Homo-oligomer: A and B are copies of this chain.
């Protein structure tokens, strides 16, 4: 296989905006206008500031995000493939709509992919991976899910650690593609969580569920771990579904 190497480019750089993750890593500083706009738009769509189905007018966005036409359009193009934005030729962009049908699909697909990824991780993961799982679980357990006790106020740090725990679980699956897909679905799911306008807590003990998953993983009990993980997602999903139907 021939490869053009007259052009000298640094070969490794897996942390740019093409990664569905880490949207706000270098949002300020030397990042390009496109990256900035991408990160901010993405955050605003996930958080629900930009409403599902909403038309995204270039001129409007230009003013809000303080950038020119090109960076805005490029950012929107990037978001299109992440399924956060829809593009229609000659008719511009809009925030991807949501539906309970799509949420069902999302939940289902996540379970399929994460189960496979988890089983592979359990089969392949070495002791360093085990340690990372333990550490991620511990760190997650050290912060409260809600900033206030009697009603729910999202805790950003919990969100970060929660995602990190789930990423770590499947990080030994040895397929960056599968991990990327899981990541995409995770972020889609967060969007639904935000949009549901979650007020009440889930009554069940989420921390205990994480602990149980962690134990099963360390025991290399793939069947149990997969079962726990899937039911973990499903109960969260059921809870969200109720919220979605109320609203």
Q: Taking beta carbons and an 8 Å cutoff, which residues of A are in contact with B? A: 1-5, 7, 9-11, 13, 16-18, 30-32, 34-35, 51-55, 69-70, 73-74, 77-78, 80-83, 86-91, 94, 97-98, 105-106, 108-109, 112-113, 116, 120, 174-178, 181, 185, 195-197, 244, 247
Q: How far is the CA of A10 from the CA of B178 in the complex (A)?
A: 33
In the bound complex, what is the Cα–Cα distance between A87 and B15 (angstroms)? Answer: 10
Of A32, A77, A98, A185, most buried by chain B (CB within 10 Å of CB) is A77
Q: For the complex, what is the distance from the CA of A94 to the CA of B18, rounded to whole Å?
A: 13
Q: Are B3 and A51 interface neighbours, CB within 8 A?
A: yes
A235-B146 Cα distance, complex, nearest whole Å = 51
Given A81-B82, A105-B174, A108-B175, A97:B17 Cβ within 8 A: no
Q: Report chain B residues within 8 Å CB of A18.
A: 80-81, 86-87
Contact B112 A116 (CB under 8 A): yes
Is the pair A16, B73 in contact by a Cβ cutoff of 8 Å? Answer: no
CA distance A78 to B32 in the complex (A): 17
Report the minimal beta-carbon distance from A125 to chain B, rounded to whole angstroms: 16
B32 and A89: CB pair below 8 A? yes
Contact between A1 and B196 (Cβ–Cβ < 8 Å)? yes
Q: Which residue of B lies closest to A116 (CB)?
A: B112
**Is B87 touching A16 in the complex (CB atoms < 8 A)?**
yes
Option from B53, B54, B70, B109 in Cβ contact (under 8 Å) with A178: B109
Using Cβ atoms and an 8 Å threshold, which residues of chain B touch A10?
88
Give chain B residues whose Cβ lies under 8 Å from the Cβ of A185.
Answer: 177
Cβ of B16 and Cβ of A89 under 8 Å apart? yes
In the complex, what residues of B have CB within 8 A of residue A177's CB? 83, 105-106, 109, 185
Complex Cα spacing A30 to B174, Å = 43
For A247, the closest partner residue in chain B by CB is B1
Q: Across the two chains, which residue of chain B brings its CB closest to A112? A: B116
Query: 3 closest A-B pairs (Cβ-Cβ)?
Result: A81-B81, A77-B77, A7-B55
Given contacts A7-B94, A18-B81, contact A1 B195 (CB under 8 A): yes
CA distance A197 to B18 in the complex (A): 29
Q: Say how far A110's CB is from chain B's closest CB, in angstroms.
A: 9
Are the C-beta atoms of A13 and B88 separated by less than 8 Å?
yes
- Shortest C-beta distance, A204 to chain B (Å), equals 23
A8 to chain B, nearest CB (A): 9
Per the bound structure, the CA–CA distance linking A7 and B1 in Å amounts to 51
Please, how many angstroms separate the alpha-carbon atoms of A55 and B34 in the complex?
Answer: 20
